[in-house]
Amino acid sequence: MELMYTIKEQDAGKNIKTFLLERNISRKLLISIKHRGGTVLLNEKCVRLVDRLSEQDVLIVKLPDEIPSDNLSPQNLETLGFPLQIVYEDDFLLVINKQHGIACIPNMRYKNLTLANSIMHHYKKINQQTTVHFINRLDKDTSGLLIVAKNRYIHHLMNDKTKIKRKYLAIVEHTIAKNITIEHAIKRDETHPVKRLVVRDEHENGKSATTIVTPKEWYQQHTLVECELLTGRTHQIRVHLSSIGHPLIGDSLYGGGVNYINRQALHSYKLQFKHPITNQLLKFEIPAAHDMKQVILQLEKLQGQVHNTLFQIT
C-alpha cells in the first residue's frame, strides 16, 4: 500500500518524521516501515526521517505488506451460496454487502466458513498481501453494508466510529408511533454466552449506547423502522428495541416472534463516511435483503396496503 503527499507551504521546514506523526502514522508503524520492507521516498529518492521538507516536495510512503494469520485461510464460499458482494473497492478499503447466515470472523462454531475467509480468498485472487480489518461488524444473521480496511493504518484512521453514519432497517413487533432516542447502557448477560442486557441501575457497569429510531411504515401489529447508531455496541439495536417492548421479528433471543422470518429482521442499508486518505465523502445505500422484502409484502397484504418503493421490488 502506498501513501502520497504533496507538501504544502505550512508543512515546509518540518522533518519527515514529524510530518508523518501528524498524519497518525505511529512510531511503531515507522519502525515497521524501516525493518519490514517499506520505504520512504522524497522526490523519488530514499531519505532519512530527519530530513526536512520543502514546499511542493512529493513524499511517498510505501507501507510493508501485512502477513495474514495462519488461522485465517482463504475460502471461496460462493459454492455454498455466499458469494462475496463487493459494493466498493480501492487500494485502502472495501465496502461489502454481507448476506445473512454468515459470521464475520472465525469462532469455535465457524472456523473457516466466514466472511473474513471469503475476503482472504478475494485478496489472493487479486494478489494483495494483507489481512482483514473490519471497521464495523454485523451479527451472523444481520445483512447489509460493512467496511473493511486493507491495512492496520487505515483501520486506525477509521477507528472513530462516531464519524461513520450507519443506518439500519428493522421490522419490530407492535406500533412505534413517533421518533425515539434510546439511551441505555449495555452490558453482558452473565447467565448467557452471547446475550446482552440494558443497564437501568446507574451503579451497574455498562457501556454507553445511543440509538435513534424513526418509524417508516406501519402495519397491523408491526412497524418498519430506521435505526441510526451513534455508538456501536454488540447487539445494540436488538437489545435497545427489545428493552422498550419492540423486539425485532425473528429475533428469538430477545423475544421476537418467528412467524414471518427465521432470523432477526435487521439490515444495514446506509453508510456514509469520509475516505481516510482522499477525504472524499462516500455514501452507500442498498435495498433490504430478499427475505425482509417478502415479510414487508406479507404485512402489507394483510392490511391491503400498496407496496411502497423503499425496497425497490420489481
Distances (CA, A) of 274 to 36, 149, 163, 282: 29, 13, 8, 6
Q: From the candidates 11, 65, 70, 139, which is the catalytic residue?
A: 139
Phi-psi region of 175 (alpha: psi -120 to 50; beta: other; left: phi over 0): beta
Q: Decide if 249 contacts 266 (C-beta within 8 A).
A: no
Tell me the β-bridge partners of 93.
Answer: 149
- Annotation says 139 is catalytic: yes
Residue type, 65: D
SS3 readout for the chain: CEEEEECCHHHCCCEHHHHHHHCCCCHHHHHHHHHCCCEEEECCEECCCCCECCCCCEEEEECCCCCCCCCCCCCCCHHHCCCCCEEEECCCEEEEEECCCCCCCCCCCCCCCCHHHHHHHHHHHCCCCCCCEECCCCCCCCEEEEEEECCHHHHHHCCCHHHCEEEEEEEEECCCCCCEEEECEEEECCCCCCCEEEECCCCCCCECCEEEEEEEEECCCEEEEEEEECCCCCCHHHHHHHHCCCCECCCHHHCCCCCCCCCCCEEEEEEEEECCCCCCEEEEECCCCHHHHHHHHHHHHHCCCCCCHHHCCC
Stated length of the chain: 314
Looking at the annotation, which residues are catalytic? 139
